[in-house]
Amino acid sequence: MYNPPNSRDGKGLPVSDTPSAPGKLPDPDSNERRLESWGEIATYLRRDIRTVQRWEHDYGLPVRRLVIGKMGQVYAYRSELDRWMKQRQPGPNDDIGSGDKQAPEVQGPTLVPKGGEDPTISKRTPAAWRWKAAILGLLLLASLGWINPIHDWIHDVLFPPQKKIHLFVRPFASLPPEPDQQLFVRGLKDEMIIQLGKVDPDRLGVFAPTTSDAEGAKSIADLRSSLQADYVLEGSVRRALDQLRIDAVLIATRDGSQVWSKSYTGNARDILQLQDNVTEDVASQIRGTLPAGTKSDLGSARVEWVDSRAYEAYLEGRVHWFDRDLLRSKESYERALKIDPGYPRARAGLAMIFLLMGQSPNDALPPSQSVPLAREAAKQALRGDVKNADAYCVMGNIAQSYDHDMPAAEHHFLKAIEVDPANVTAHEWYGYFLTVNNRMAEALEQTKLALELDPASPLLQNVQGEIYYYQRDFDASIRQELKTLELSPGFLYPRIWLASAYREKKMYREALSEFDLARKHSNDSPALLGLYGHALAIAGDKAGAQQVLAKLEQSANTRYVPALYFAAVYTGLGDKEQTFRWLEKAFNEQDDRLVYLGVDPIADPLRGDPRFQQLMKRSGLK
């Protein structure tokens, strides 16, 4: 409901509910649900946040603001956005095609920047103005989404994007180089990267911990040429009894010159304060080189107070998480929470571990056990820190794969990106959400954003190939996964999608070879057995597929084996009755991979069956 600017809420704070466009907008139906952030508005309009903000600033897109004191929140109504967009669509008789016909004039209000005048162009316009009028016309069409590539090109020509500064944090030297000390120092470096990444993600890009570890031995010149890094932060950590010393040096890659250096000394109990000081000083040095408008408040990047022993255990948990050593990460997080039960970061980390332990191909716990543990841990983390992006990622994953509530899932993922745009997992998991909802171009864009933050991550390189597979671009998937395996020969996941792409191209010999290699590498993991058995069946080896089914049944006597793996083999055998019997079990088990069947080519033989269509509908898919 609209509140006059002078009204006050129950706490005596001035409250106003105002549209951003000139004048006051009438309130829509009181039952209409609002879009309550830039992210939700952008998603509804299928544009990026920057484009929507530009439309609001330049063309009066009806975005409202709820102002409480000096604070404000944007929101919008779908009906008003629809009306605004409809006014800017071409008329029913308009011809916007290419060819010899002249493009018609756009019907409805012309996009004229707020406060500007609507220029009229004379029929006898001088030649110098004609090309300007053409550009303005193209910009008009582009702003309506009809010729986005042209719009992007012209916008970049007229308004060149300001260069983003990139910072690479090299692994710090551990003095003395003892194993336990090295783990602590690596965790400290990783956390500095995470905090620096929150300073100003739009203008300062900080390469993620995985890339830091993978590329850390490169020279300054190589880091500049291969990663386009503008600055490199390096240093050392020395620990003696209860004393801690951090030496940090900031180097400009353009000429290798030392921009800044400083030493920090204090009690080991004050590690959070020392780390915070390093983070703030480094950001302050780089901030002077950033474009105007860079955030000056580094408070959001600061580490909250926590017991230093709990913090050290948390750092170890993060290191193991980046290595995907789930059991050791879980042990470290639990040790941190024993010391400080209310520590939100450790609680969110534990939530992610619980979640992955119940997902394919890990399958360490059935979802009936893992999901309640992950959900409760994520909720506790958010109660302690409403800006914890990892906790929002967990809630989004649960909503997608277990609750089958796709709108709620997207809301959580967008919230994670909103509170921490540099969070690699948020972009990766949102990309998976977009994949299962068959929004492949957007999924690849999220993966691209994640790779910009973490270009050396084999996991993200694999994800790109996986999405190509779901997009049915099998040749691109094969190229990508071969490239990933060349860089990380021992990594299991790329072999799975390489084999899957071979299978879909009916290259059965190559597919079986890769699946067999992956199966052996995983010590006969049920997930790999299921895929191998399916490939054997469609390649004509029915007896081999039956042997795989027997192995899965034998494994189920001693561990959790998801029903979906049995369904995969029966799909290959062409036994639809058994397939749907096991798919129903998979649905009841809340198998996280079930929602992927909506786009997975492996399920193509089932798509014409009404039972499959109903199953996908029950799984929250359109």
Q: How do residues 134-182 score in pLDDT, each as one tens digit?
A: 666 655 655 555 445 555 555 455 545 567 899 999 999 998 887 778 8
| pLDDT for the residue numbered 303 | 47
pLDDT digits (tens, 9 = 90+) for 218-259: 999 999 999 999 999 999 999 887 889 999 999 999 999 888
Q: What is the average pLDDT score of the chain?
A: 84
- Indicate whether 472 pLDDT > 60: yes
Host H or E run for residue 568: helix 563-573
- For strand 71-77 and strand 64-68, is the pairing parallel, antiparallel, or unpaired? antiparallel
User: Which of 5-19, 103-117, 545-559 has the highest average model confidence (pLDDT)?
Assistant: 545-559
C-alpha 455, offset from chain centre? 14
| pLDDT for the residue numbered 527 | 97
State the Cα–Cα distance between residues 74 and 358, nearest whole angstrom. 38
H helix count then E strand count, the chain: 26, 10
Mean pLDDT of 18-23: 40
Ordered strands of the 34-35 beta sheet? 15-19, 64-68, 71-77, 34-35
- Indicate whether 29 pLDDT > 70: no
Please list the alpha-helical segments (H only) found in 21-160: 38-45, 49-59, 78-86, 127-143, 148-158
Non-local (6+) Cβ contacts of 617 within 8 A are: none
Contact 376, 348 (CB under 8 A): no
State the Cα–Cα distance between residues 490 and 211, nearest whole angstrom. 18
| Lowest-confidence region among 3-12, 32-41, 294-303, 382-391 | 3-12
State the Cα–Cα distance between residues 50 and 143, nearest whole angstrom. 12
Q: What is the DSSP letter of 177?
A: -
Percentage of residues in the chain having pLDDT higher than 90: 61
State the Cα–Cα distance between residues 514 and 105, nearest whole angstrom. 57
Give the model's confidence band at 108: pLDDT under 50 very low, under 70 low, under 90 confident, else very high. Answer: very low
| Lowest-confidence region among 198-207, 304-313, 369-378, 569-578 | 304-313
| pLDDT for the residue numbered 64 | 87
| pLDDT for the residue numbered 104 | 35
Give the model's confidence band at 477: pLDDT under 50 very low, under 70 low, under 90 confident, else very high. Answer: very high
Non-local (6+) Cβ contacts of 32 within 8 A are: 77, 78, 79
The answer to pTM > 0.85 is no
